[in-house]
């Protein structure tokens, strides 16, 4: 029963959910360009998630690359949002939220990309 190794990257849900997720993120990407919405800085995250969902429906292991790219892209969006909030469009809460998000995202990205592959535990 426990002899088989289960591949954690194997898709365990129907393929049409990938396409539904891709359509959802494409719709969010398009609506973020509406004037006055204020969501334009999150377009890279939405575009990356759309790409991952589209490719995952064809190739099962594409999430492995997406796993490494999601946090740096979110960090980039937090940095852009922090700069926008610093420019006078945000309050104290926005500065703390996006500044903290940028710092945590930087630490997680460095750990995932640089430190984690070099740990002896993962080898």
Query: Does the pTM exceed 0.85?
Result: no
Measure CA 73 to chain center.
6
- Cβ distance 64 to 9 under 8 Å? yes
DSSP for residue 117: G
Give the whole-angstrom CA distance, residue 6 versus residue 81. Answer: 40
Q: Hey, what are 36's tokens?
A: 């006055």
> How confident is the model over 67-104, as pLDDT tens digits?
778 889 999 999 998 988 888 777 889 899 999 999 99
> How confident is the model over 28-81, as pLDDT tens digits?
999 988 888 778 888 998 888 888 888 775 666 676 777 778 889 999 999 998
């Amino acid at each position: 029963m426990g002899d088989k190794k289960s591949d954690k990257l194997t898709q365990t849900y129907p393929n049409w959910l990938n396409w539904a997720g891709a359509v959802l993120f494409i719709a969010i990407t398009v609506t973020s360009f509406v004037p006055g919405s204020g969501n334009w800085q999150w377009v890279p995250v939405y575009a990356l998630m759309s790409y991952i969902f589209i490719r995952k429906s064809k190739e099962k292991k594409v999430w492995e690359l997406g796993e490494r790219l999601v946090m740096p892209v979110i960090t980039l969006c937090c940095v852009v949002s922090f700069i926008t909030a610093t420019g006078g469009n945000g309050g104290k809460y926005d500065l703390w939220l996006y500044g903290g998000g940028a710092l945590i995202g930087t630490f997680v990205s460095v750990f995932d990309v640089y430190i984690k592959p070099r740990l002896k535990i993962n080898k």
